[in-house]
Structure 1
């Protein structure tokens, strides 16, 4: 964990960098992918497709073991997924702990102010990037 607090501008810049890195990862694996950038409009973060599957992603990173997702973000993600006949995921990265995990919305914890995803749930219920792009369904034992 960093010893000094980051400014909101630094946090936003870091979030954009993670989104760009993820878009590049998709493109490097024969997907068409882009960030959905719109100031003041609620959009998911990434749209990716390879002709066989279409993915809509909300990208979240955290230095802690908990990621929070606003209710409006989940609603928007679901709406986009339904309209584009896509699969919706939270793309979660717990910094300094794991690689990207892609978690279906059904595994988010429901709270008073929105949703959350903890590290253990992401590891148990989420899938890896390779599983995601190969369209594999992985069975997890709990």
Structure 2
């Protein structure tokens, strides 16, 4: 899956087909007309409340797709020096790498599509983290 361009409607449609959930069932659960369900499949973006409903119905975390996008494509900025005030928002770990992401990166190394340095540069994965993944999963590459 490409995390750079996200079309959430297509992903929801794909998961719906995979789980064999009917449009009629979805319309009844959400209490909306069937044509509205079909319109949702064409939307590139959805409000978070609506996306949460879809995540619950299809038992799939669609928000993780956006988290993966942030991990792969957002540059890391230096933390500001002042840390006097605590944020009101929940604090998350700095980097969360899902199993899917680790497998994706290791597959790039295995197949030789990208060198280790390209992965470090393109996805901003720390060198030590990449090498720990490779050692843990015994990846062999010809590079």
* TM-score above 0.5: no
Greater relative contact order (CA < 8 Å, ≥ 6 in sequence): 2
Question: Which one has a larger percent helix, Structure 1 or Structure 2?
Answer: 2
TM-score by length of 1: 0.25
**TM-score scaled by length of structure 2:** 0.25
Larger relative strand fraction: 1
